[in-house]
Structure 1
């Protein structure tokens, strides 16, 4: 039986495919509501990062994944700036079981998109005449696992 399972897994690996088709900026915004006055204040930033992802099925085995990063930076009580990017990608996923496909779309694809989004945000903030952000890497596998746990806990609570 084990040999049969190994053969099925090997056949699935041979027929499964993951490829990146395109990476693009879907939406981009920057707001510095207190400029130019904010540039004259003492710079002691408080950075808040909000991350979310969404995905939608396109034709065939193509999927769009959108990673949204929103950064709100305050100095004291004043909002210095708000920057947001929606970094998107089109991915081809073929021959994956439902669990593997959900993991790819929920964790692996956002991991691919994150460096692009981080660079776009950094460039945007610098163009606004603020110091570079240099956001730390994000563990999307851990975020995905937390999301699964919350969903499971919600399902258990309803049962």
Structure 2
């Protein structure tokens, strides 16, 4: 791109006739697909004095909607237990429709399982916080999750399994 007296020129980025061939990815929409809140010991649980032990699980799933759109699903489950019993259980399936075009497969994979969940997580976290509050407890603010770090660990683990997974006796 060249500057000529505050006028931008050569905006085609090398694409003839405005061809759309640059890699692009972005969030199209996001939504709660499923939400479950259980408060099984209410109203007794509101009298418990002990801090509940939290078990937080999360999973990422992806489904192709069409050639350029994928649904990314962030599933988060929170189970709060005390010696007296289960205080609450919150499960959310928070989804986003992600558009990806002109991207190599490895970049699509990284965006699907690292970047898209990173974008969705703050909103899923708010849904969980509100659900816990609406169940009658103090809002739960989950710690941030390093989805990129987890993604890289998963890739490294998979590579190590593939390298060390050769049957015995073969070189």
**TM bucket normalised to smaller:** 0.7 to 0.9
Find the aligned partners of 2:28 and 2:35 in 1 and give their Cα distance: 21
**Aligned residues of 1:44 and 1:76 also touching (Cα < 8 A):** no
Counterpart of 1:153 in 2: which secondary structure?
Answer: helix
The aligned counterpart of 2:8 is: none
Tell me how far 1:15 sits from its aligned partner: 1.0
Find the aligned partners of 2:164 and 2:121 in 1 and give their Cα distance: 33
Q: Which runs of 5+ in 1 are unaligned?
A: 1-9
The reply on whether 1:147 has 2:154 as its aligned counterpart is: yes
Find the aligned partners of 1:15 and 1:46 in 2 and give their Cα distance: 48
Tell me how far 1:75 sits from its aligned partner: 1.7
Find the aligned partners of 2:70 and 2:114 in 1 and give their Cα distance: 14
Find the aligned partners of 1:31 and 1:83 in 2 and give their Cα distance: 6
CA RMSD, 1 decimal:
1.7
The aligned counterpart of 1:119 is: 126
Output the TM-score relative to the length of structure 2: 0.82
Q: Which runs of 5+ in 2 are unaligned?
A: 1-13, 16-20, 167-171
Tell me how far 1:122 sits from its aligned partner: 0.4
Tell me how far 1:76 sits from its aligned partner: 2.3
Structure number with the higher helix fraction is: 1
1:133-154 deviation line (CA, Å, top 9, x unaligned): 1111110001111111221122
Aligned residues: 149
Give 1:84-103 correspondences, 5 Å limit.
Answer: 84-103=91-110
Moved over 3 A (4+): none
* Aligned match for 1:67, one of 67, 74, 98: 74
Find the aligned partners of 1:113 and 1:126 in 2 and give their Cα distance: 20
Find the aligned partners of 2:150 and 2:164 in 1 and give their Cα distance: 21
Find the aligned partners of 1:26 and 1:68 in 2 and give their Cα distance: 10
